[in-house]
Amino acid sequence: MTTLLELDEIGFAWPGQAELLDIPAFSLERNQSLFLKGPSGSGKTTLLGLIGGVHKAQRGSVRLLGQELGTLSAGARDRFRVDHSGYIFQQFNLLPFLSVRENVSLPCRFSRLRSKRACQRHGSVSHAAAQLLEHLGLAASLHERRADTLSIGQQQRVAAARALIGQPELVIADEPTSALDADSREAFLQLLFAECRAAGSSLLFVSHDQSLAPLFDRSLSLAELNRAARPAEV
């Protein structure tokens, strides 16, 4: 398999605080699903910020698609992130005043690459959004409704479609199933796996719910990866 994401000797600390992350090595392969156990307070959100180029490590390297993120300006990191990464947030972060379809299409407004890919695969960005939503179990009758009128489970599917549109190489999911019951969690994950495979996207899924780990290709614990972890975390 070809490596998509690689971290090497990463060190990060917030100003005036002890080092939060000390990760000697971490990698994710292309077309792979990886479960990363990350309890609250373990530095998982900071790690995802480093992988997305939102934060910059004080030492070490973060390479996505062979690009060393630390060598890019803040603006270039932002552009690189929107071109190549899709995010599913714990709170979904949908724009309530936009329709479901408009929320899904948003990344293509900021990324020419993802817009081009969506049009090549589906004919148009709008059709790409509709196809993803239907594949993820959201009926066409809901596509023009405001996002804030949907149930939690429906909003979750919208957030997943937004992350997947335009076939980003990396999809990052940060605790997206925490508000769902066990049956709904597994059903959503199976849909997410199928769409990641169809898009050729690798999936990095961060959660404290260890029961989901067997569903993934690989499973790791952030506390075991991170040499700066407190003893209680390990």
Query: pLDDT for 118-148, tens place per residue?
Result: 999 999 999 999 999 999 999 999 999 999 9
3-class secondary structure, 4: strand
Distance CA 117, CA 83 (A): 10
Residue 234 has pLDDT above 50, yes or no: no
Residue 51 has pLDDT above 70, yes or no: yes
Give the model's pLDDT for residue 176.
84
Q: How confident is the model at residue 179 (pLDDT cuts 50, 70, 90)?
A: confident
3-class secondary structure, 66: coil
Least confident of 106-120, 139-153, 178-192: 178-192
Q: Find the helix or strand (DSSP H, E) in which 107 lies.
A: helix 100-110
Provide the terminal-to-terminal Cα distance of the chain, rounded to the nearest Å: 29
Q: Burial level of 140, CB count in 10 A (0-12/13-18/19+)?
A: exposed
Half-sphere exposure of 24 (CA within 13 A, CB side): 3
Superfamily of domain 3-225: P-loop containing nucleotide triphosphate hydrolases (3.40.50.300)
Distance CA 176, CA 157 (A): 10
Average pLDDT, the chain: 92
- In the predicted model, what is the mean pLDDT of residues 186-205? 94
Higher local confidence (pLDDT), 2 or 39: 2
Sheet (strand 170-174) strand order: 85-88, 170-174, 202-207, 33-37, 218-221
